[in-house]
Amino acid sequence: MKNKFLILNLFVLFILASCSDDDTKTTQEFVVAFENPSVSLTTEEETKEVKLVFSRNAAENGTATITYTTVNAEYDTHFTTNPASEEGTITVPVTAGSNSATFTLNKLQNPIEGTEMSVTFKLASISNPESSIQGNTSLAVSFTESAALGGVIAPETGGADQPNQVYIDLSSQTQTTAKRDTWELGFYSGENFRVVLNGSLLMAATPLEATDIDVVKEADVADLKTQVAVGTFNPENTKYIDAPSGNIQETVIAEVSENDSDNKVYLVNLGINIGGSIHVPGGARGWKKIRVLREGNDYVLQYADLDATTHKEVVINKAEEYNFTFFSFISEGETSVEPMKDKWDLNYTVFTNIIPGSGSYVYSDFVASNSKAGVEVYQVSTSDFTYEDFTAENIIEENLSVDQRGIGGNWRVLSQTSTSLKDDVFFVLKDPDGNYYKIRFTALLSESGERGYPKFEYNLL
């Protein structure tokens, strides 16, 4: 009998516990929003992928219903979508297990100059259970080049080794990538005749006494090769790199003179291969000797291996629409790297910076601003303003700086054991068109803890 009562009591307790669990159990809401509140298409762009983001992975298949309104734009005449619109409604599939969904906007015509043309999409409903629409519930798409209201950007660095330099334009929400090892020298297109080194490869250089490139031999520079490098922890090695501030007047290669006899030969350390280490000889890319001359408004580059008794020569033209014309020793010609100078604001890159007292050193996850085109930046502490509450009225113009390290590495904390975001700072940026943005970094690592997976949000002020 006691056993029967014991079994009955245990059964009752199980039922009560089950009921209690059901009463307190909560289901995480399935929230859907547009990734960005606005986007724009340039005259060259014909398509734009529109992304919906979810607060969690979809538990089952479903659909998101989207409606739209237009200004001077007609479906099938000026634009279409994929999936196609049916009676003013677009139905976007939501796939079980996914954390986002997309549809494509196809532009069929550009607007007449001076005419506004736009489409505003609005999330109308979600068929999935426990769902809601919050955040960016609508998306304004402009067919003219207007500044984006803000959004979220994840620079495509290429992973932990960060093989890509990523150029980001905030107003158009675009990013352009270039492999770090596709160039070595950048020839300035502004008024000065200056040549920069590819700091993302840890390049370094020093002038020699010679003005005849063909007489320089490797034996002549053997002692210098141990010094002309990044990461030697010698405070004096800062003289072998370009000024990290981006000041074009402070390049290691001097202003190129009209008088050929003033232009010295330079020993150039080509830096480190992608994925290599400054402490592992196998990572080294080698050496060159170079000399740069002027021919009218063009540059003349002479270059050779250290023991060569002859050299090659190439004319490098200035390109007024760009900050630099880039040259590759690998392809032995000009190469495309940066977008046009007024079409980017930030460069996410590996960077050669200075450790005070220890000289030049390599920094990953570095964000350089386009100071050559007039981009200015400053840092704001959350002890003064919260990101959410910061408005255009709070901008302090005197704090804006043309130092390209205005963001730099100031958004993350590095130690020998960990890497993390700073949650007590954000940044204000003024772009070449006079638009002001506030910027806050929201990710540095991948979900598995790997570096090279940054993300930031920004808003037009």
For the chain, the first-to-last Cα distance in angstroms comes to 78
| Mean pLDDT value across the chain | 90
Confidence of residue 2 (pLDDT cuts 50, 70, 90): very low
**Hey, CA dihedral for 184, 160, 34, 99, is it positive or negative?**
positive
Average pLDDT rounded to a whole number, residues 106-116:
81
Q: pLDDT-derived band of residue 287, with 50, 70 and 90 as boundaries? A: very high
Averaged over 193-199, what is the pLDDT?
98
pTM over 0.75: yes
d(CA 405, CA 199): 13
**pLDDT-derived band of residue 339, with 50, 70 and 90 as boundaries?**
very high
Q: Which domains does the chain have, with CATH numbers?
A: 30-146 (2.60.40.2030), 152-180+341-460 (no CATH), 184-335 (no CATH)
Percentage of residues of the chain with pLDDT beyond 70: 92
Q: Is the pLDDT of residue 8 over 80?
A: no
Task: Please give the structure tokens belonging to residue 416.
Answer: 């020998």
Under 8 Å between Cβ of 151 and 51: no
Give yes or no for residue 302 having a pLDDT over 70: yes
What are the φ and ψ backbone dihedral angles of 226, each rounded to 5 degrees?
A: -85, -10
Residue range 23-31: average pLDDT?
66
Radius of gyration of the chain (CA): 28
Q: How far apart are CA 101 and CA 122, in angstroms?
A: 15
Mean pLDDT of 158-174: 92
Residue 12 pLDDT: 34
Tell me the per-residue pLDDT of 423-446, one tens digit each, with 9 for 90 and over: 999 999 999 999 999 999 999 998
